[in-house]
Amino acid sequence: MIDLFSGLDAWVLVSLLLALTFVLAFEFINGFHDTANAVATVIYTKAMPPHLAVFFSGVFNFLGVLLGGVGVAYAIVHLLPVELLINVNTGHGLAMVFSLLAAAITWNLGTWYFGIPASSSHTLIGSILGVGLANALINDIPLGDGVNWQKAIDIAMSLVVSPMAGFAVAALVLIGLKWWRPLSKMHKTPEQRRKLDDKKHPPFWNRLVLVISAMGVSFVHGSNDGQKGIGLIMLVLIGIVPAKFVLDLNSTTYQIERTRDATTHLSQFYQRNAATLGEFLALGKAQPSDLPEQFSCNPQQTEPTIAALQSSLQGVTDYRALDADKRVEVRRYLLCLDDTAKKVGKLPGLEAREKADLEKLRKDLTATTEYAPFWVIVAVALALGLGTMVGWKRVVLTVGEKIGKQGMTYAQGMSAQITAACAIGMANVFALPVSTTHVLSSGVAGTMVANKSGLQGGTVKTILLAWVLTLPASMGLAAGLFWLASKAIS
């Protein structure tokens, strides 16, 4: 790890360390801001003592980050348009990273202070969108090209649909439990359990399910939200020290060969489907000399881009053998070919089998650009895990007592947690970022409605208001900070 930062100018090194500190601070705050939701029900129902609950939640968050992969991480990164990602430089990278992190941290701390279960995912995504749009305005780029809107729409759908699904599914699970065991002690609140049965803890099996589901929520939270931190650190590293991180310098000869073979097979794929794609890709018309000096991604330049990439990788068995400029160049070619392939996959006329082949080629193309060093994963896992162990009380009280007009029963806690763990786990499978906060709190609200307990209007309105305001507020804050930072740099 240390050798990766050797040879850097002092100001770049200081800026880099400061940016990494900002990211890890965001993840630490995320730990006590969002993960409180993961242990809220298990603490409120007294299934686990608070100190044990937050400790084990921290451990499972750590494991979730460690084992979760990088799919969600790069879903976050690719909210920014490919043009912005391929043309980063140190000054621009610093402005981008500090603006979105400062905006996200400010909003997260504010909502945590007031005990509002707001979403770190919404905050981060809003900050990234704000930076993308501000960059478009500053550089006279159409706003339609300032953000990867297709990716933004996909993520927005997951963020909107997941709380609704959490509300409905948790309600149905509770109704099923009431139908199955209507007289069970699991339908008591902790207060009723203490008064009527003189017992402090839930019945054994209910307690076991509450503990296991809480740790399940912690694990999937780590693998989903932790990846957002990984994506942020990779943005920092690529933006500030691109030569060291634009490509995975630990790629094996086999991985590099896979990348090179993918470009050959991609060319063959386009030739095979020339009747459908010829006009879109200008097949047979563009020449390698047509590539502009200020590189930009253009489907019409696909053939020369493939040729340039194959020439750059000819005989390369170790990325370290490439000089700094050549590494940046290779990454630009790979990102552009992947971006074009994604657009091609959405064109009408391609058979389903051909689209599946194209998806496989895209994975091979990005195998050495979509990665994260092990130390990055461990650092984020530690920050998230340690953050889990502090600051949880405010949100636990909101989730346990202030969403419904009555306290939460054991069955409600189980229903909400099982639903949240399954929903976030499914999102991880499809590499979609979702909000643990909104899935769990909407699940609790769903069980309150199903239990005919009623909802506390004030709390629900506050949560909904935070849900509505988080995106525009973080977008505006990040955009303003990026504009100021860009003016200062220029």
Specify whether the CB–CB gap between 379 and 233 falls below 8 A: yes
pLDDT of residue 221: 86
Q: How far is CA 358 from CA 28, 192, 267, 364, 421, in A?
A: 39, 59, 11, 10, 32
Length of the chain in terms of residues written: 490
The confidence score (pLDDT) of residue 476 equals 92
Contact 234, 375 (CB under 8 A): no
pLDDT at 107 > cutoff 60: yes
Q: Is the model's pLDDT at 404 over the cut of 60?
A: no
CB-CB contact of 43 with 210 (8 Å): no
Which range, of 31-40, 125-134, 207-216, averages the lowest pLDDT? 31-40
- Tens of pLDDT, residue by residue over 410-461, are 999 899 999 999 999 998 888 888 887 778 888 888 888 888 876 766 667 7
Per-residue confidence (pLDDT) for residue 141, from 0 to 100: 77
- Determine the average pLDDT of the residues in 280-285: 81
- pLDDT score, position 89: 59
Q: Is the pLDDT of residue 173 over 90?
A: yes
Amino acid 106 reads: T
Q: Reduced to 3 states, what is the DSSP secondary structure of residue 188?
A: coil
State both tokens at 342.
Answer: 């994604």
Residues 6+ away with beta carbon under 8 Å from 52:
none
Q: Taking a C-beta distance cutoff of 8 angstroms, is the pair 19, 98 a contact?
A: yes
Rounded CA separation 432/362 (Å): 18
Q: Would the pLDDT of 272 be above 80?
A: yes
Task: Please tell me whether residue 455 adopts helix, strand or coil conformation.
Answer: strand
What is the rounded average pLDDT for all residues in the chain?
A: 83
**Does the pLDDT of residue 270 top 80, yes or no?**
yes
- What number is the average pLDDT over the span 273-287? 81
Listed in sequence order, the residues at least 6 apart from 14 whose beta carbon sits closer than 8 Å to its beta carbon are none
3-state secondary structure of 458: helix
Q: Tokens at residue 158, please? A: 């997951």
Q: Is the distance from CB of 21 to CB of 96 less than 8 angstroms?
A: no
Name the residue type at position 484. L
pLDDT tens-place string over residues 220-256 = 988 888 888 898 888 888 878 888 888 999 999 999 9
Q: Are 88 and 242 in contact (CB under 8 A)?
A: yes
CB 387 within 8 A of CB 25: no
Q: How far apart are CA 152 and CA 150, in angstroms?
A: 5
Phi, psi for 315 (deg, rounded to 5): 75, 5
Split at pLDDT 50, 70, 90, the class of 212 is very high
Q: Are 328 and 245 in contact (CB under 8 A)?
A: no
pLDDT of residue 266: 94
List the Cα angle 416/435/22 in 5-degree steps: 135
Contact 384, 33 (CB under 8 A): no
Determine the average pLDDT of the residues in 278-282.
84
> What does the pLDDT read at residue 208?
95
pLDDT of 210: 93
**Banded model confidence at residue 4, pLDDT cuts 50, 70, 90:** low
Q: Is the model's pLDDT at 209 over the cut of 90?
A: yes
Hey, which of 205-209, 227-231, 291-295, 394-398 has the most confident mean pLDDT?
A: 205-209
Q: How far apart are CA 60 and CA 309, in angstroms?
A: 42
pLDDT for residue 290: 59
Q: How confident is the model at residue 34 (pLDDT cuts 50, 70, 90)?
A: low
Which residue, among 481, 433, 457, has the nearest Cα to 119 in the 3D structure? 433
Mean predicted confidence (pLDDT) in 31-51: 77
Tokens 């095979």 belong to which residue?
272
**Cβ contact 45:408 at 8 Å:** yes
Range of lowest pLDDT (104-108, 279-283, 349-353, 466-470): 466-470
The pLDDT value recorded for residue 386 is: 84
Cα dist from 159 to 323, 423, 432, whole Å: 41, 11, 9
- What string of DSSP letters covers 346-394? TSTT--HHHHHHHHHHHHHHTTTTS---HHHHHHHHHHHHHHHTSS-HH
**Structure confidence at residue 146 (pLDDT):** 75
Angle (deg, nearest 10), helices 204-240 and 10-44: 170
Is the pLDDT at 273 greater than 80, yes or no? yes
Residue ranges covered by each domain of the chain? 2-244+372-489, 247-365
Helix, strand, coil percentages, rounded to 5, for the chain: 75, 0, 25
Long-range pairs of 102-106 with CB within 8 A, sequence gap ≥ 24: 102/22, 102/477, 102/478, 102/481, 103/127, 103/130, 103/474, 103/477, 103/478, 103/481, 104/26, 104/474, 104/478, 105/22, 105/25, 105/26, 105/29, 106/477
- SS3 call for 322: coil
Q: Give the confidence band of 265 by pLDDT, cuts at 50, 70, 90.
A: very high
Whole-number pLDDT of residue 170 = 94
Q: What is the pLDDT of residues 51-102, one digit of tens each?
A: 788 888 888 988 999 888 888 888 888 887 766 666 655 667 678 878 888 8
- Among residues 135, 20, 60, 93, which one has the least CA distance to residue 384? 60
Tokens representing 488? 């200062």
pLDDT tens, position by position, 333-387: 998 899 899 889 888 888 889 889 999 999 999 889 999 999 999 999 889 888 8
Q: Are 238 and 93 in contact (CB under 8 A)?
A: yes
Can you give the pLDDT at residue 395? Answer: 58
**Roughly how many angstroms between the first and final C-alpha of the chain, as a whole number?**
32
pLDDT at 399: 55
Q: How far apart are CA 400 and CA 207, in angstroms?
A: 16
Q: What is the pLDDT of residue 293?
A: 59
Q: Indicate whether 401 pLDDT > 60.
A: no
